[in-house]
Chains A and B, each alone.
Chain A
Amino acid sequence: DVKVTQSSRYLVKRTGEKVFLECVQDMDHENMFWYRQDPGLGLRLIYFSYDVKMKEKGDIPEGYSVSREKKERFSLILESASTNQTSMYLCASRRSAGIANEKLFFGSGTQLSVL
Chain B
Amino acid sequence: AQKITQTQPGMFVQEKEAVTLDCTYDTSDQSYGLFWYKQPSSGEMIFLIYQGSYDEQNATEGRYSLNFQKARKSANLVISASQLGDSAMYFCAMRALYNFNKFYFGSGTKLNVKP
Contacts and interface: CB of A to CB of B under 8 A. Distances in A.
Contacts of B44: 106-109
* Most central of A44, A56, A104, A109 by chain B CB within 10 Å: A104
Interface in A30-66: 31, 33, 35, 40-45, 48, 50, 56
A56 B99 CA distance: 13
A104 B107 contact: no
A: contact size bracket: 20 to 34
B91 A101 contact: no
B45 to A, nearest CB: 4
Give the size category of B's interface with A: 20 to 34
A52 to B, nearest CB: 16
- Most chain A CB inside 10 Å of its own CB: which residue of B6, B9, B101, B103: B101
A88 B108 CA distance: 14
A90 B45 CA distance: 9
Interface in B76-115: 91, 93, 97, 100-103, 105-108
Interface of A: 9, 31, 33, 35, 40-45, 48, 50, 56, 88, 90, 92, 94, 96, 98, 100-109, 111
Interface of B: 4, 6, 9, 33, 35, 37, 42-47, 50, 52, 91, 93, 97, 100-103, 105-108
